[in-house]
Amino acid sequence: MVGIRSYGAYIPRYRMNRMVIFGQMGWLNPANIMNAQGEKACANFDEDSLTMAVAAARDCAKGFDRSEIDAVYFASTTAPFKERLCANLVAGALATEESIRTMDFSGGLKAGTSALLSALDAVSAGNARNVVVTGADSRLGKMGSPQELMFGDGAASVLVGTDDVIAEFKGSFSTGHDFVDHLRGANSIFDRQWEERWIRDVGFDRFIPEVIGGLCEKCGVQISDFSKIVYPCYFGGERKKINKKLALDAEKVVDNLQGTVGDTGCAHPLLMLAKALEDAQPGEKILLIGYGNGCDALYFEVTENIKKLSPRKGVSGNLARRAELDNYPKYLVWRRMVPADTGLRGEEQKWIRWSLIWRAHKAMLGMWGSRCKACNTQQFPPQRVCVNPDCGAIDNSEPVVLSDAGGTIFSFTADMLAASINPPAIYGAVNINGGGRFVFDFTDCSQEDLAVGKSVEFSFRIKHHDPEKDITNYFWKAIPVS
């Protein structure tokens, strides 16, 4: 049986009430009041599509043997690199083997479901056994634009395979249309959209029914057979119209998370799917639609195995982890939409040295440490000479992945001198569970959240961004957990 084995989600901790944005920018576009309801999820200063995709993939892969993953697919229209395969970084952060398939999907908002389709195809063809698909987006609208209000940041992931499948893949139908409702040129940062009425009336209103009709005909099912219908469309009125047109029971249509997260681009259908799977029951049929320059429609049937899957953080767990972002200029600085002065110290050049990064990529991406075979001391980063003063064995260690180990705070500070776009820089020594100590940056917290002895978990984050060379570098940070 081919299908979904697991799912995961990631929604950044910061949420901004859309009225905060409207309060600052409503003067430019008063009609935007229509879009200024609910809140949008905002990536932290050290998050981007890649880090969010890693977080969702870790949620998804929790409890699964990472060495059995034989493909990692990353989907995003806001990848941090044009040339550098992000899937390799995701795979590295998951500490998978390196002899696997890695692919990036992009170009349009159905990239998320297209990645999923490709994974299902690869598994169906017997070319892969376990494929991690993870999608993320963090799209930007110009200040005062409708997109700025509509878009949210987030990620979702599914594990596709053949064993213990929780949702069997039953079929799909796709369309491709050069329907340019949204566009970003190769060098554009901000989304540009055509008239909303056209997007609604010709876009969603025509293509969603088209792909649903195509799938039902191809697979010999009725729309009424589905218990959960996932389709991304952020216009509330249009959703009602489509539901009515297709005679969809509103209760079966999965919430588009517009009030709590916002439109997460190519990740959005996967994020809504993750939400649907949280309470899915065996036997239920799920219809998943990806939308953007055409559509993908995928048909799944939930199996008994869903009861056996250990709980994921999922959408609900992530929504529960929440902090208010009530400062619109801070959002602009974090998303690098406006220049901010971090002082002369902040202008110091820091080179990312690729030969070094390659040598140390296992420690940096996967948080691989070493465990001494002579005295069993775990250490990070990996040491040739054992750090235990009573041991000191040379070249007698084995690699060990520490990203899931967690740890406890040994010492900490909140530093106002360090250059940062999110001062103070909070960091401190962490005792890694099972052994080893390292000084990590803390994130997703304030100084008040820290105490010696408090538990932390590790999160893959932006470590350094060099705007001049357009390079982002990543490493693990520690997040206090209560």
Partner 1 sequence: MGEGIRDKVVILGMGCTKFGERWDESPEDLAVEAFTECLEDAQIEKKDIEAAWLGTHIDEVNVGKGGNFLGLTLKLPLIPITRAENFCASGTESFRGACYAVASGAYDIALAFGIEKLKDTGYGGLPDSPAFGQMQATIGPNATAPGMFAQLATAYSAKYGIPMEKVKEAMAHVSWKSHENGAKNPRAHLRRPVPKEQILAAPMIAYPLGLFDCCGVSDGAACAIVTTPEIARKIKPNENLVKVKALQISVSSGEEALYTKWDGAGMLTTRRAASKAYEEAGIKNPRKEISMMEVHDCFSITELVTMEDLQISEPGKAPDDILSGFFDLNGQLPCQPDGGLKCFGHPIGASGLRMLYEMYNQLLGRWPEDRAVKNPKFGLTHNLGGVPNQNVCSVAIVGLD
* Residues in contact with partner 1 by the rule CB under 8 A: 343-345, 348, 350, 352-353, 356-357, 360, 363-364, 377, 379-381, 383, 387-389, 410-420, 424-425, 427-429, 431, 435-441, 447, 452-453, 463-464, 473, 475
Quote the CA–CA distance of 204 and 102 in Å, as a whole number: 32
Minimum CB separation of residue 451 from partner 1 in Å reads 8
Closer residue to partner 1 in complex, CB, 314/428: 428
CA distance 185 to 188: 5
- Name 448's Cβ contacts closer than 8 Å, sequence gap at least 6: none
Listed residue (451, 412, 456) closest to 433, CA to CA: 456
State which residue, 24 or 413, has the beta carbon closest to partner 1.
Answer: 413
Q: How far is the CB of 245 from partner 1 (least distance, A)?
A: 53
Shortest distance (Å) from residue 476 CB to partner 1: 8
DSSP assignments along 84-109, one per residue: S-HHHHHHHHHT--SSSEEEEE-SST
Instruction: Compare residues 85 and 352 and give the one whose CB is closer to partner 1.
Output: 352
Distance between CA atoms of residues 359 and 388, nearest Å: 24
Residue number, 209 or 381, with CB nearest to partner 1: 381
Between 93 and 111, name the residue whose CB sits nearer to partner 1. Answer: 93
- How far apart CA 47 and CA 422 sit, in angstroms, is 12
Closer to partner 1 by Cβ: residue 299 or 334: 334
Least gap, CB of 255 to partner 1 (angstroms): 38
Minimum CB separation from partner 1 for residue 326, in Å?
22
3-state DSSP call for residue 169? strand
Q: How far is the CB of 399 from partner 1 (least distance, A)?
A: 16
Given the complex with partner 1, which of 178 and 390 has the nearer CB atom? 390
CA distance 66 to 68: 5
Residue 195, token pair as written in the block = 């008239």
- Minimum distance of partner 1 from residue 317's CB (angstroms): 28
Distances (CA, A) of 440 to 34, 399, 443: 43, 20, 9
Nearer to partner 1, 114 or 377 (CB): 377
Amino acid at 319: L
The nearer residue to partner 1, 207 or 380, going by C-beta atoms, is 380
Instruction: Output 186 or 416, the one with its CB closest to partner 1.
Output: 416
DSSP 103-136: EEE-SSTTHHHHHHHHHHHHHHTTS-SEEEEEEE
Cβ of residue 62: shortest distance to partner 1, in angstroms? 24
168 with 217: CB under 8 angstroms? no
Long-range contacts of 255-261 (CB under 8 A, 24+ apart): 256/232, 257/152, 257/315, 258/38, 258/150, 258/234, 259/37, 259/38, 259/39, 260/15, 260/38, 260/39, 260/41, 260/319, 261/11, 261/40, 261/41, 261/152, 261/154, 261/319
Q: What angle do CA 16, 22, 25 make, to 5 degrees?
A: 120
The residues that bridge with 193 in the sheet, in sequence order, are 182
Minimum CB distance to partner 1, residue 339 (Å): 18
Amino acid at 51: T
- In angstroms, give the least distance from the CB of 448 to partner 1: 10
Length of the chain: 482
CB atoms closer than 10 angstroms to residue 420: 18
